[in-house]
Amino acid sequence: MTGWDGNAVAGLLYDLFGQEMTGVGATCAHCGRRSLLARTRVFRGPGTVLLCPACGGSMLVVCVRDGIACVDAPGFATLAVPLREPVSLRPVGDQSRPRTA
C-alpha cells in the first residue's frame, strides 16, 4: 500500500474520462460515503485501484495493456461527472430515424 491519493492518478483519470476528475464526487457502494476522487487512496500494482478513503473498499480498478484501458467500477454507487454541454434526453436514434413516405 502506498500513501498516494487520487491526485496521484489525475492524468490517468483525465485520459479515461476526457476531463479533470479529481474534483468529481463519488459515492462508495460499500459504505455510502461521498468523497472527491482526489481523496481516494490509491494502490498501484499491475493495475491501479482507487480505494474509498473511509472503508478501503475498491471503487475503481484500471488496467492498461497494449494501449487499451480495462476499467471496472465495482465501488461507485454514484459518480457525478459534470457535462461540458447539455445532453439531449431524446432516446438515441430519434434524430437519425429515416422518415417514411
Asked if residue 30 binds Zn ion (CB under 5 A), the reply is yes
Site string for Zn ion, 38-57 (x = CB under 5 A): --------------x-xx-x
**Which residue, 21 or 50, has its beta carbon nearer to Zn ion?**
50
| Distance of alpha carbon 13 from alpha carbon 28, whole angstroms | 17
Q: For Zn ion, which is the closer residue by CB, 50 or 62?
A: 50
Close Cβ partners of 7 (under 8 Å, ≥ 6 residues apart) = 22, 38
DSSP state of 24: -
Stretch that binds Zn ion, among 3-11, 12-20, 27-35, 93-101 (CB under 5 A): 27-35
Minimum distance, C-beta of residue 29 to Zn ion, in the bound complex (Å): 8
Task: List the end-to-end C-alpha distance of the chain, in Å, as a whole number.
Answer: 65
Size of the site for Zn ion (CB under 5 A): 7
Dist CA 91 CA 51 (whole Å): 34
Grid coordinates representing 50? Answer: 482507487
Summarize as ranges the residues that interact with Zn ion (CB under 5 A).
28, 30-31, 52, 54-55, 57
